[in-house]
Amino acid sequence: METFINPKSLFHLLLLPCLLLYSSIAYNSSPVEAAMHTNNWAVLVCTSRFWFNYRHMANTLSLYRTVKRLGIPDERIILMLADDMACNTRNKYPAQVFNNENHRLNLYGDNVEVDYRGYEVTVENFLRVLTGRHETAVPRSKRLLSDEGSHILLYMTGHGGDEFLKFQDSEELQSHDLADAVKQMKEKHRFKELLIMVDTCQAATLFNQLQSPGVLAIGSSMKGENSYSHHLDSDVGVSVVDRFTYYTLAFFERLNIYDNASLSSLFSSYNPSLLMSTAYYRKDLYKRRLEEVPVTNFFGSVMETIHTDAAYKALSRRNSGRFEDEMSLDQSVHHIERRMLIKVNDGYEIHDINPELLQGEEGASKCPWSTFRNKFQKAENVDSLVNYGLVAMIPLLVISTWLVQ
């Protein structure tokens, strides 16, 4: 046995636990948990074609208007409309779309940027938008360029059924597809929190397969229920809005960008007798208490502002890509936004962080032991504590066996 153990192998044996240690530290200090709410995105999808589905486009455009009004800029809204009702020849009011029979509000005014329209709205493109796997030629305006601090609102409307949503009268998005896409997004650190809002028949079934943490989902109806349209515009000759969306909009019309209405107040505002269906929300994947989350966290672009003495403290371009706890805490909202932009310019640099830390060059210089100690003392994470303990046991074991022999 002795012959087998030479200094080189010993070195290797010692190095292994060290590497493991580093990696676990790197994992725990990785930005996923530490990331702060940095920006807001909205993906608004109308999946159905044809004139008689006017209301789905009106739903989506109403939501578009609302989130824009509450502060999400156009470049962070991906708007997908499967058909063009405004220019449909059957439209009595050419180039206008209304969501109410009083015709007071034209939803299809001047500042509507439709990112995916007509036959571009496919399951494939939708999943590409979510997962960020685009062909190189796809312009930036059509991409969901979110980061691990993003709050994303995903709103979908169309015709659905048990665990599927119909796209374009020809294909379907299944609940598995959606769950898979969300999982990929999580893996790729494309969001911090995700709110999925779906207005279709049997919308709740679409959330059955979701597993990723940080996802909150609300649907207009339970399994076996239909979602109904709210009212018919006898002038245009079609139903113009769905009930769930109508009451969502009614809730938001009372709000402005400074209001503190919580998500729970939104969710409890749905009256089953008015909806003629039961709004269902799934929050088991979502950690925060709904009473404490303002709706503007998803439907607007309102973030926590942190006051700092020095506005431009040592924010180098190089560091900005690597998320440091202390630094992001110090930053003001402006900085966060700017940093986001810079990071976007950096492209996929984020994903290089962990290998770098693994090599132990930079990670060590950022004094991992102190972090380790902090973590240890706080004993926040039982799992990591156990991991550290096990890792610490290995060299002891090795040394003791060596000594015994």
Partner 1 sequence: MAETKEKSLSDEKPKPRVRPIVRLGIFLISHSFHVSVVCCTAGVLALFLLPVLAKNTYISENALMPGSASPMLSNQHVSDGNRLVKDLTNPNSKSSETGIESHKIIAQYMLDLGAEVSFHKFHPQMNQFHPLHFFSSPDSGKIQENYSCSSYGINTVGIIRAPRGDGKEAIVLVTPYNALKSGFGEALSLGIAYSVFSLLTQVTWLAKDIIWLVADSQYGEYAAVAAWLREYQTPKFSSLSAPNAEMCPDVNNLFELKGHSISGSKFSNSFRRAGTMAAALVLKVRDQNEQFEDTISIYAEASNGQMPNLDLINVVNYLAVHRQGLRVNVEKLWSLLNSSWLKSLGEIFESLAKVAKSLYPKWKFGIPATEYVEGTATLASSLYYQALGVPTGPHGAFRDYQVDAITLEISPKFSLDKVWRNDILLRGGRLIEGVIRSVNNLLEKFHQSFFLYLLTSPSKFVSVGVYMIAFALLIAPLPMVAASLYVDANSSSKRSKGDSSTPSAITDTDEHSIAIRSWSPTTSFMIWVLLSILSLLTLNSVLASPLACAKATQEKEWALVKSVTISSVFIGLGLMSVINFATAEIGALLMVPMCLLAQPLKLDVRAGTLRSFCRMICNLVLGHIAFPPAAFFLLKGMLDGFGNANVGDFWMWVESLWAWNSATYLFIGMVQLPCWVLCISILFHTC
Give the residues lining the site for partner 1 (CB under 8 A): 50-52, 87-94, 232, 234-239
Instruction: State in angstroms the smallest separation of the CB of 48 from partner 1.
Output: 11
Structural contact between residues 229 and 242, judged by C-beta atoms closer than 8 angstroms? yes
Instruction: State in angstroms the smallest separation of the CB of 239 from partner 1.
Output: 8
Query: Hey, is 112 helix, strand or coil?
Result: coil
- In this structure, the chain runs to a length of 405
Output Rg (C-alpha) for the chain, integer angstroms: 25
CA–CA dist 305, 308 (Å, integer)? 10
Q: Which is nearer to partner 1, 101 or 325 (CB)?
A: 101
Q: Which is nearer to partner 1, 169 or 259 (CB)?
A: 169
The beta strands (E) that lie in 120-192 are given as 150-157, 160-161, 164-167, 171-174
DSSP string over 291-307? GGSBTHHHHS-------
Instruction: State in angstroms the smallest separation of the CB of 90 from partner 1.
Output: 5
Q: Is 159 a catalytic residue?
A: yes
The beta strands (E) that lie in 59-136 are given as 77-81, 116-117
Q: Which is nearer to partner 1, 49 or 335 (CB)?
A: 49
Structural contact between residues 255 and 302, judged by C-beta atoms closer than 8 angstroms? no
Q: Which is nearer to partner 1, 159 or 282 (CB)?
A: 159
CA–CA dist 109, 259 (Å, integer)? 26
Q: Which is nearer to partner 1, 53 or 175 (CB)?
A: 53
Instruction: State in angstroms the smallest separation of the CB of 153 from partner 1.
Output: 29
- C-alpha triplet 35, 68, 347: angle, nearest 5°: 40
Instruction: State in angstroms the smallest separation of the CB of 233 from partner 1.
Output: 8
Q: List residues with catalytic annotation.
A: 159, 201
